[in-house]
Amino acid sequence: MKLKDQVALVTGSGRNIGRAIALALASEGADVVVNAGHDKASVESVAEEIRKMGRRALPIVADVGDPKQVRMMMDEVMTHFGRVDVAVNNAAIRPGNPFVKIPEDEWRRVLAVNLDAAFYICQAVLSGMEERKKGNLIFLAGPNAWGLSPGRCHVAASKAAVVGLAKCLALEFASSGIRSNVISPGMIESDRPPPPPEILAKVPLGGLGTQRDIANAAIYLASDDSSYVTGQVLFVNGGEYWQ
């Protein structure tokens, strides 16, 4: 197992890509903190799947865009597990609005969940990682980070900032044995309706990617398989876009 006895925290892991990542990390031996902002049933369900694999799971409902709730979550994580070895910053919201019609509260909320949450989580886990001289930070930032989704300027701004944050942390903490990388998914299967066929036809490898494709990337970045990889963006998108 590539992550035996490590502790992973995956935000937004009650469903879709976050759920797939949480289950994949558990399948490689990690104990997992399963987080969602509001849906207690979803995190309990994912936690139960992880326990059936023989791993420990801690389901926590916490709005990671709220620093007070993040502090409470991290207190519970430290009490339960004592550390975090892998932090996956996956939680995000993606409302759509023309730029001139974005309400100020929507702008602030998007930045809180998509960007500020990563700041809170990383600050909470990095001191312990520094003490152990090892740790992994993983961020999710899809096509919005590259300005490829019209009508989502606030999402694009937040996700582009996440990429910058990940790269800065890679540089600042490399000497402490901590790696920081980004996964940039393309069009991935989910519980949302798929894009129309004419859009999918533009993907060079064709069709939708699977949630397991993203989870496999997370395993790679979380494990020693990527021990010489930091400050990078791993595009998992069938060739849909690249930088």
- Within-domain flag for 1: no
Are 186 and 235 in contact by the 8 Å Cβ rule? The answer is: yes
Q: State yes or no: pLDDT of 243 exceeds 80.
A: no
- Within-domain flag for 241: no
User: Which residues fall within 8 angstroms of residue 168, CB to CB, at 6 or more apart?
Assistant: none
pLDDT given for residue 175 in this prediction:
98
Q: Is the four-CA dihedral 156, 159, 161, 167 of positive or negative sign?
A: negative
The stretch 78-86 carries a mean pLDDT of: 98
Q: State yes or no: pLDDT of 64 exceeds 80.
A: yes
Q: What is the DSSP string of 85-113?
A: SEEEE---------GGG--HHHHHHHHII
Arithmetic mean of pLDDT over the chain: 96
Q: State yes or no: pLDDT of 208 exceeds 90.
A: yes
pLDDT band (50, 70, 90) for residue 2: very high
**Count of domains in the chain?**
1
* Domain region containing 133: 7-236
pLDDT given for residue 192 in this prediction:
81
The stretch 231-239 carries a mean pLDDT of: 96
Q: Round to whole Å and give the CA distance between 14 and 32.
A: 12
The stretch 186-191 carries a mean pLDDT of: 90
Note the pLDDT tens digit of each residue in 86-102. 999 999 999 999 999 99
Q: Round to whole Å and give the CA distance between 127 and 140.
A: 22
pLDDT given for residue 199 in this prediction:
86
pLDDT given for residue 90 in this prediction:
98
Q: What CATH number corresponds to the domain at position 190?
A: 3.40.50.720
pLDDT given for residue 148 in this prediction:
80
- Within-domain flag for 174: yes
Q: State yes or no: pLDDT of 142 exceeds 90.
A: no
Q: How many CB atoms lie within 10 A of CB 227?
A: 9
Query: How far from each other are the two terminal CA atoms of the chain, in whole angstroms?
Result: 33
pLDDT given for residue 196 in this prediction:
87
- Within-domain flag for 231: yes
The stretch 129-135 carries a mean pLDDT of: 98
Counting residues of the chain whose pLDDT is more than 70, the rounded percentage is 100
pLDDT band (50, 70, 90) for residue 236: very high
- Within-domain flag for 2: no
Q: State yes or no: pLDDT of 191 exceeds 90.
A: no
Note the pLDDT tens digit of each residue in 155-171. 999 999 999 999 999 99
- Surface-to-core class of residue 52, CB atoms within 10 Å of its CB (0-12 exposed, 13-18 middle, 19+ buried): exposed
Note the pLDDT tens digit of each residue in 23-54. 999 999 999 999 999 999 999 999 999 999 99
- Within-domain flag for 230: yes
Are 141 and 156 in contact by the 8 Å Cβ rule? The answer is: no
Q: Round to whole Å and give the CA distance between 75 and 84.
A: 12
The stretch 135-151 carries a mean pLDDT of: 90
Q: Round to whole Å and give the CA distance between 43 and 59.
A: 5
What's the token pair of residue 150? Answer: 């019209």
